[in-house]
Structure 1
Amino acid sequence: MNVRLLEKEGFASLFLRLRAEGIADKPLLTAFEQTPRTLFVSAAYADACYQDRLLPIDCGGFAESADLVARLLSLLAIEPGHRVLDIGTGSGFLAAVAARLAERVLTVDRYKTLVQLAQQRFAHLGLSNVTARQADGTKGLSGEGNFDRIISTGAFEGMPRLFVDQLASGGVMLAPILKDDGRAQMARLTKIGSRFEREDLFEVPYRALTPAVAAAL
């Protein structure tokens, strides 16, 4: 099947699944339609890129399904003018879709290879408002001012309280938090004053964040 047809049929099936879940936000769906997912996975997995499953990527990582990306971005509720921090670039797909909704997206990953690949993909799509950097995601990104939205696709051992200082007032962070059994629960953290108001959501397949940047890859 050629890539264009694969994208068209893949997005159509995704669209129907999201509508069934109650996700019908037009700007969000348009952002997905404008961001070809085949560009973010290896050719070996192109046929599966719109399936609701994890897909292997470089550096031993995985790309979450487009379904999960849509659920998370719907909950993040990005608005025009927002500055967004994405922790855990991975394939770059989430950041690319977010860039079509936000004013500015900064995405960080500990692996230089993933950062470089993502930046190439952003350039290919003409997305000039998203930048990938190699950095320690456990510390966020200081020196860049406050963000309106922060999303992490790596899990924290406990409440990531240091991120309160990196969020604008009323800002929202989506962060997976590890439970006692080792599984990760996505939480929506809303900045109220100088603290977080926490709402637990659903289990997610994310692994624990690893501190520091990778020495290789």
Structure 2
Amino acid sequence: MNTGIDDREGFAAFLLRLRGRGTAPKALVAAFEATPRRGFLSAQFHALAWSDGMLPIECGEAIEGADLQAAVIAALHVEPGNRVLEIGTGSGYTAAVMSRLAARVITIDRYKTLTEQAKQRFEALAISNVIVRQADGSNGLPNEGPFDRIVAWAAFDSLPRFLLDQLSSGGVVIAPIGPEEGEQVLAKLTKVGSRFEREDIGMVRLQPILRSVAMVI
């Protein structure tokens, strides 16, 4: 089996789906193309690297489907000078993609295993503008803002208004809001003065945000 051909075919199918949904800006496509997705997955899932389904990773977590990741990053409108906070490093893939669009990405996860693996992957790809940290992301990173963009890959049970204080003027947060069980609303919150403008951009099923860091893994 020619994995290179399989990978190219998978990426081409992914690109067609993005174009069909109108979420394929050139810079975003180039960032995805430059970031080898299978390198962030266990070997058994390489054939599914560009699929739209969630795939398991370490620590009982999962990597979101490529289409959802692309839709969220497109909606963030990451710009070259931006400072981005990502809550939920996971495999590190989305931070790697955003590193090609932003000035700096700070990505945090409660699991040390995931942050250590992500660091190794960034080093292997010579990505130097991502800072990875094991931290409790349930309150963002209150002492390190302001950020121009914040994205959360875990759901808050109510509107995370505290993130407003961590955003620069005109900054954007994208986060799922809703119950632990069932679907959550994927909300895009833009900071205007001292308030948010909210736009709901879809429905997702992601894990709830967990407080504290994991002590063992």
TM over 0.5: yes
- The alignment's TM-score, normalised by the length of structure 1, stands at 0.96
Measured in 2, the distance between the counterparts of 1:181 and 1:144 equals 31
Structure 2: segments with no counterpart, 5+ residues: none
Residue 201 (structure 1) aligned with residue 182 (structure 2): no
Counterparts of 1:35-184 in structure 2, within 5 Å, are 35-179=35-179, 182-184=182-184
Measured in 2, the distance between the counterparts of 1:2 and 1:103 equals 36
Q: Which amino acid aligns with 2:150?
A: I
Following TM superposition, by how much is the alpha carbon of 1:22 offset from its aligned partner in structure 2, in angstroms?
A: 1.0
Measured in 2, the distance between the counterparts of 1:106 and 1:78 equals 14
- Partner in structure 1 of residue 8 of structure 2: 8
- Partner in structure 2 of residue 17 of structure 1: 17
Q: Which amino acid aligns with 1:53?
A: G
Indicate if the aligned counterparts of 2:156 and 2:176 stay in contact, CA closer than 8 A: yes
The 3-state SS of whatever aligns with 1:169 is: strand
- Give the number of equivalent residue pairs: 217
Indicate if the aligned counterparts of 1:184 and 1:207 stay in contact, CA closer than 8 A: no
Measured in 2, the distance between the counterparts of 1:183 and 1:8 equals 32
Following TM superposition, by how much is the alpha carbon of 1:132 offset from its aligned partner in structure 2, in angstroms?
A: 1.1
Measured in 2, the distance between the counterparts of 1:97 and 1:37 equals 10
Measured in 2, the distance between the counterparts of 1:96 and 1:147 equals 17
Measured in 2, the distance between the counterparts of 1:150 and 1:135 equals 15
- Partner in structure 1 of residue 28 of structure 2: 28
Q: Which amino acid aligns with 2:185?
A: Q
Cα-to-partner distance string for 1:140-194 (whole Å, 9 max, x where unaligned): 1132231000000000010101111100001000010015964211000011112
Q: Which amino acid aligns with 2:69?
A: V
Indicate if the aligned counterparts of 1:78 and 1:102 stay in contact, CA closer than 8 A: yes
Tell me whether 66-75 or 194-203 shows the greater mean CA deviation.
194-203
Q: CA RMSD in A?
A: 1.3
Cα-to-partner distance string for 1:60-109 (whole Å, 9 max, x where unaligned): 00000111110001100001000000000111111110010000000000
Q: Which amino acid aligns with 2:215?
A: A
Measured in 1, the distance between the counterparts of 2:201 and 2:179 equals 13
Q: Which amino acid aligns with 1:88?
A: G
Measured in 2, the distance between the counterparts of 1:193 and 1:27 equals 29
Q: Flag the 1:48–1:162 CA change in 2: closer, same or farther, 3 A.
A: same
Measured in 2, the distance between the counterparts of 1:5 and 1:143 equals 46
Q: Which amino acid aligns with 2:57?
A: I
Measured in 1, the distance between the counterparts of 2:150 and 2:203 equals 18
- The alignment's TM-score, normalised by the length of structure 2, stands at 0.96
Structure 1: segments with no counterpart, 5+ residues: none
